[in-house]
A and B are shown apart, each in its own frame.
Chain A
Amino acid sequence: MQTEKGLAEDLRHIVGQDNLREATEQDAVDGVEPDFVVEPGSIEEISDLMKLAAREGLAVAPRGGGTKMHIGDPPRRLDLIVSTARMNEVLEHTPGDQIIRLEAGVKLEDLQEHISGSDQMLAIDPPESGATIGGIVAANSSGPRRYRYGTIRDLIIGITVVLHDGTVAKAGGKVVKNVAGYDLSKLFTGSLGTLGVIANANFRLHPRPGSSRTVAVEVTEPQQAQAAAQAIVHSQVEATAVELQYDENEKQLAVLLESIPGGIDAKAETTSFLLKQFGEVRTLSDEEVNHLGPLAPPEVADGVVLKIGAPPAELAAVLVAVLGAAERKGLAHPRITGHAGTGVTLVGFSGENEDGAAGFVEEMREIWVRRGGNVTLQRAPLTLKQRVSTWDNGGDYLGLVRRVKEKFDPRGGMNPGRFLGGN
């Protein structure tokens, strides 16, 4: 291991003076401050950085827009942040093929803007603004439209990664249908920077729908919310999103519909008909839809956001369990939103009452992991994470997770400690 000065010299040699800086408090990840932040401009530079990191035993955290650095357990150590900020080029967009090849640092908003002229979109709508493609893939971010289009794993068709030893490898390609070789694009999806740096990724695109409308029903109790969601899910209406909002002020199930201009009225009419048995139905104004975010996660300043994955037909049981436990643990005003069609429920509350919060997380895990679900802290104060971990215990696949990590990152230099099972 060389001196910090010598290391800076080596890093500068790779990325140039302008693209190296000493880290500050702002770069800390869960309180662990790295030494340097580098912004490589090419895959070759990433590879050289990683070779250096491997040689010097540096722990590396990849970073895109930095919108999700709060996800995961506190790192065991961290020396170097490799930022993809400069790798922000759209490499190829062929409208006729409905595919796009991107550098990892391209921001989702910029990408959508770039392709809007061809009436296409990447069908993913995570809530954070400023997120990069690489970050979305690494954290497996998703939003309401996952009901119709799936998550990023269903849209990614190719990837280029750089491992901790500097090896550059690609998998997949730029065609939607492709079964040549192992699907490493999916393996890296949701790997949270623990297997390597994602340098490029390719995706399939979808046509941008010509018109949309959001129809919502007011509900009063969990069973109703579930029944309303089920009515849409089992219908033939082909909704784009089925979103739940459930708190003291507002309890509603909103259905996002998209179609061609000639098809939207019929869809809205069918949806209203299906929902009216559960309560008052109305069409949301654009303003209301925007206010929802689209249908944003329950933001609470310095708060906790817990994500529960459960079978979608058990939505009522999730709501009852959440509300009951929140009350027992003394968590005031929990805010609940969710992708009700796919079984994702997000619970937001203040982190002030830490004992209560920890007890709540434990109780949710006790119930939902046993019932085949999962419970993950999306956001939490460091002290809470230290008590209850970001992740539940996973399942009997934990050994396999560890073996994958050991093979791809035998030195344990990629984001050590952040992932499930301490990987």
Chain B
Amino acid sequence: MERSRLIKEMEGIVGAQGVIHEHEQLRTYECDGLMNYRVIPDLVVLPETGKHVQNIVKLCYDEGIPFVARGSGTGLSGGALPVESGVLIVLSRMRKILEVDIPNQRIVVEPGVVNMWVSQEVADEGYYYAPDPASQIVSSIGGNLAENSGGVHCLKYGFTTNHVMGAEVVLPDGSVTHIGGGRAPDAPGYDLLGAFVGSEGTLGIATRITLRLCRVPEAVHTLLAGFEGTEGAGGAVSGIIGEGIIPAAIEMMDRLTMEAVEEAVHPGLPDAGAVLVIELDGPEAEVEEQFGRVLEICEENEATEIRVAEDDEERALFWKARKAAFGAMGRISNDYYVQDGVIPRTELPAVLGRISELAGEYGLRVANVFHAGDGNLHPLVLYNNDNEGEAEKAEKLAGEIVFACLEHGGSLTGEHGIGEDKKKYMPKMFTDDDMNVMQLLRCAFDPHQLANPGKIFPTPRLCGERPGPFHMHPLQKAGIVEQF
């Protein structure tokens, strides 16, 4: 289909206000939160209803046009990177909270609803939405679902996948299906919802999402503890977990991160080599006793300073310090590369040692900030783009760090996703058979590979389907994919 005709057809679906086709405006959408990959899409379409999404996808299917869904565009793996000659479907106009069902502890939202709004909506009733990625004031529920977002409180409460209970999904052929029980448990059939959450936009577009709401805990206790170095802080983390305590969150920052954070938001962090932010929540009596034990464990591991949040305001300040860590890097470095790797918790000392060795070898600084409770590291590789070759060096170092995570039994990514950025590393973690079997799922949902093609897997495969509405697959023609 000619571009001008495609624009007309899309305008017919969403109205002229909902289609962006001027080059300069399209550039706004050329990347997501990972800015080193940029592709200008052919068109951007902004649907306002599920029906719009359905019609847009149907049109793409009939014409064999690949599409990419995007929420708020805060993703850090290039998962919402547009494809050339493809349509970018931006869901930020679908921002309605559709149903609140407190008796069943459910809320039904459109995909463009911002994570934080969900908790705000039900706060007065004593409820909240547990997954809290650091981006939660901007990132959308649809994007959280696509990436299976984590957050600082997932140690106790789990990830997005444990809180999405149902979804209306527009499949890549434009048909609509409802997966997951929603309000009722144990829907029969395969756990299609479990497979869909975290599939990075490659299986379809969720247009209506049912989330689980959690009761606000009776008591919340938060402390901030400084240590000589990461060894002491790591020792405290092991001690707490070893005691059978599951805090709501345990976060660690190293000295370099603290310097940046101090400059950016002035939280008055202790002068220390590493700091932990630890939060416990639950019934008062339980939390109080366990919190006492946590304080003792910090002291046993020679904490140099411990501050207990006296009120919600101080607690908010501790969290502001932690959540500002990525953004604060700008204070101490021109550019930085955010890595996301996972290791078994007990490998922490070994991997931190390896990171510091690697940083020395590459002559670059690495700031460490991480979800210590579940072994999810976010090393920030600092560099200066003005120095020739340094960006490449930083990316290479970040790669070496994530390989170290794999060598120690971990994963390529804990919450940012594979997306565009890490698909080249997938063979380090999975065999060809592993990836081919995963792609069988892709073939069941999207045999023509139109939904977010080229992401996650280094070698996309076609599915051995007889081409449906068109003869040769455009991706095959372009040499992007090979026949499976």
The answer for the CA separation of A238 and B435 in the assembled complex, in Å, is: 40
Q: Does B182 contact A (CB under 8 A)?
A: yes
Q: Does A207 contact B (CB under 8 A)?
A: yes
Identify the closest chain A residue to B440 (Cβ): A407
The answer for the CA separation of A344 and B194 in the assembled complex, in Å, is: 19
Tell which of B148, B244, B416 touches A119, judged by Cβ atoms closer than 8 Å.
B244
Identify the closest chain B residue to A196 (Cβ): B437
Q: Which residues of A contact B24 (CB under 8 A)?
A: none
Q: Which residues of B contact A379 (CB under 8 A)?
A: none
Assess whether A174 is in contact with B409, with CB atoms less than 8 Å apart: yes
The answer for the CA separation of A95 and B242 in the assembled complex, in Å, is: 8
Assess whether B188 is in contact with A391, with CB atoms less than 8 Å apart: yes
Top 8 nearest A-B pairs (CB, nearest first) are A186-B194, A207-B244, A263-B286, A313-B103, A169-B437, A266-B285, A236-B218, A311-B183
Q: Mark A30-41, 1 if CB is under 8 A from B, else 0.
A: 000000000000
Report the stretch among A82-90, A293-301, A392-400 that lies at the interface. Answer: A392-400
Which residues 123-148 of B have a CB within 8 angstroms of A?
Answer: 126, 147-148
Q: Does A273 contact B (CB under 8 A)?
A: no
**Given pairs A343-B104, A343-B185, A399-B177, 13 additional interface contacts (CB within 8 A):** A97-B375, A150-B162, A175-B414, A177-B415, A183-B199, A187-B191, A312-B104, A313-B101, A373-B181, A397-B177, A398-B189, A400-B445, A401-B189
The answer for the CA separation of A31 and B301 in the assembled complex, in Å, is: 63
Assess whether A400 is in contact with B285, with CB atoms less than 8 Å apart: no
Query: What are 21 A-B contacts defined by CB distance under 8 Å?
Result: A96-B241, A167-B433, A169-B438, A175-B342, A175-B343, A179-B417, A180-B411, A180-B412, A181-B434, A183-B148, A190-B191, A233-B105, A237-B283, A270-B283, A310-B184, A344-B186, A372-B184, A391-B188, A397-B189, A400-B177, A408-B437
The answer for the CA separation of A311 and B343 in the assembled complex, in Å, is: 38
Q: Does A6 contact B (CB under 8 A)?
A: no
B401 to chain A, nearest CB (A): 15
Q: Which residues of A contact B66 (CB under 8 A)?
A: none
Tell which of A96, A182, A307, A398 touches B346, judged by Cβ atoms closer than 8 Å.
A96
The answer for the CA separation of A357 and B112 in the assembled complex, in Å, is: 46
Q: Does B410 contact A (CB under 8 A)?
A: yes
Identify the closest chain A residue to B371 (Cβ): A177
Identify the closest chain B residue to A176 (Cβ): B374
Q: Does A265 contact B (CB under 8 A)?
A: yes
Q: Mark B434-478, 1 if CB is under 8 A from A, else 0.
A: 111110111111000000000010000001000000000000000
B74 to chain A, nearest CB (A): 15
Interface size class of B (residues with CB under 8 A): 35 or more
Q: Which residues of B contact A262 (CB under 8 A)?
A: 285-286, 289
Q: Mark A230-261, 1 if CB is under 8 A from B, else 0.
A: 10011111100000000000000000000110
Q: Which residues of A contact B414 (CB under 8 A)?
A: 175, 177-179
Q: Does A200 contact B (CB under 8 A)?
A: no
Q: Does B482 contact A (CB under 8 A)?
A: no
Tell which of A171, A207, A236 touches B216, judged by Cβ atoms closer than 8 Å.
A236
Assess whether A236 is in contact with B283, with CB atoms less than 8 Å apart: yes
Q: Which residues of B contact A224 (CB under 8 A)?
A: none
Q: Does A415 contact B (CB under 8 A)?
A: no
The answer for the CA separation of A419 and B189 in the assembled complex, in Å, is: 7
Q: Does A351 contact B (CB under 8 A)?
A: no
B240 to chain A, nearest CB (A): 11
The answer for the CA separation of A184 and B426 in the assembled complex, in Å, is: 15
Q: Which residues of B contact A163 (CB under 8 A)?
A: 437
Report the stretch among B50-58, B81-89, B153-161, B379-387 that lies at the interface. Answer: B153-161
Assess whether B434 is in contact with A170, with CB atoms less than 8 Å apart: yes
Identify the closest chain A residue to B406 (Cβ): A173
Assess whether A175 is in contact with B185, with CB atoms less than 8 Å apart: no
Q: Beyond A173-B410, A238-B282, is A313–B104 a contact (Cβ under 8 Å)? A: yes
Tell which of A238, A312, A372, A394 touches B189, judged by Cβ atoms closer than 8 Å.
A394
Q: Which residues of B contact A344 (CB under 8 A)?
A: 185-186
B8 to chain A, nearest CB (A): 31
Q: Beyond A179-B198, A180-B429, A404-B192, is A267–B285 a contact (Cβ under 8 Å)? A: yes
Q: Which residues of A contact B342 (CB under 8 A)?
A: 175, 177-178
Q: Mark A339-369, 1 if CB is under 8 A from B, else 0.
A: 0001110000000000000000000000010
Assess whether B183 is in contact with A94, with CB atoms less than 8 Å apart: no
Q: Which residues of A contact B179 (CB under 8 A)?
A: 397, 400
Q: Does B33 contact A (CB under 8 A)?
A: no
The answer for the CA separation of A401 and B196 in the assembled complex, in Å, is: 13
B162 to chain A, nearest CB (A): 5
**With contacts defined as CB atoms under 8 Å apart, how many contacts are there between chain A and chain B in the complex?**
268
Assess whether B441 is in contact with A175, with CB atoms less than 8 Å apart: no
Assess whether B290 is in contact with A400, with CB atoms less than 8 Å apart: no
Assess whether A179 is in contact with B289, with CB atoms less than 8 Å apart: no
Tell which of B290, B409, B426 touches A175, judged by Cβ atoms closer than 8 Å.
B409
Assess whether B188 is in contact with A392, with CB atoms less than 8 Å apart: yes
A132 to chain B, nearest CB (A): 19
Q: Does A215 contact B (CB under 8 A)?
A: no
Tell which of A183, A372, A403, A420 touches B188, judged by Cβ atoms closer than 8 Å.
A420
Identify the closest chain B residue to A140 (Cβ): B186
Q: Which residues of A contact B410 (CB under 8 A)?
A: 173, 175
Q: Beyond A267-B285, A395-B178, is A186–B195 a contact (Cβ under 8 Å)? A: yes
Q: Beyond A260-B286, A374-B181, A395-B178, is A181–B444 a contact (Cβ under 8 Å)? A: no
B243 to chain A, nearest CB (A): 8
Assess whether A400 is in contact with B444, with CB atoms less than 8 Å apart: yes
Identify the closest chain B residue to A267 (Cβ): B283
Tell which of A182, A233, A406 touches B438, judged by Cβ atoms closer than 8 Å.
A182
Q: Which residues of B contact A (CB under 8 A)?
A: 101-105, 126, 147-148, 150, 154, 158-159, 161-162, 171, 176-179, 181-192, 194-195, 197-199, 215-218, 238, 241-242, 244-246, 282-286, 289-290, 342-346, 371, 374-376, 409-418, 422, 426, 429-431, 433-438, 440-445, 456, 463
Q: Does A189 contact B (CB under 8 A)?
A: yes
The answer for the CA separation of A266 and B285 in the assembled complex, in Å, is: 7
Assess whether A170 is in contact with B343, with CB atoms less than 8 Å apart: no
The answer for the CA separation of A297 and B413 in the assembled complex, in Å, is: 40
B453 to chain A, nearest CB (A): 15
Assess whether B244 is in contact with A210, with CB atoms less than 8 Å apart: yes
A306 to chain B, nearest CB (A): 13
Q: Which residues of A contact B375 (CB under 8 A)?
A: 97, 175-177
The answer for the CA separation of A392 and B186 in the assembled complex, in Å, is: 12
The answer for the CA separation of A178 and B406 in the assembled complex, in Å, is: 12
Q: Does A154 contact B (CB under 8 A)?
A: yes
Assess whether A181 is in contact with B215, with CB atoms less than 8 Å apart: no
The answer for the CA separation of A171 and B284 in the assembled complex, in Å, is: 39
The answer for the CA separation of A287 and B437 in the assembled complex, in Å, is: 48
Q: Which residues of A contact B244 (CB under 8 A)?
A: 119, 207-208, 210
Most A Cβ at <10 Å: residue of B104, B217, B443: B104
Identify the closest chain B residue to A237 (Cβ): B283
Assess whether B178 is in contact with A266, with CB atoms less than 8 Å apart: no
A190 to chain B, nearest CB (A): 6
Q: Beyond A173-B411, A177-B154, A178-B414, is A260–B189 a contact (Cβ under 8 Å)? A: no
Q: Which residues of B contact A395 (CB under 8 A)?
A: 177-178, 187
Assess whether B215 is in contact with A99, with CB atoms less than 8 Å apart: no
Q: Does A153 contact B (CB under 8 A)?
A: yes
Assess whether A187 is in contact with B412, with CB atoms less than 8 Å apart: no
Identify the closest chain A residue to B346 (Cβ): A96
Q: Does A75 contact B (CB under 8 A)?
A: no
Q: Beyond A169-B437, A207-B244, is A311–B161 a contact (Cβ under 8 Å)? A: no
Q: Which residues of B contact A391 (CB under 8 A)?
A: 188
Assess whether A407 is in contact with B444, with CB atoms less than 8 Å apart: yes
Most A Cβ at <10 Å: residue of B190, B238, B456: B190
Identify the closest chain B residue to A261 (Cβ): B289
Q: Does A19 contact B (CB under 8 A)?
A: no
Q: Does A191 contact B (CB under 8 A)?
A: yes
Q: Does A65 contact B (CB under 8 A)?
A: no
Q: Which residues of A contact B417 (CB under 8 A)?
A: 179
Assess whether B190 is in contact with A190, with CB atoms less than 8 Å apart: yes
The answer for the CA separation of A311 and B102 in the assembled complex, in Å, is: 11
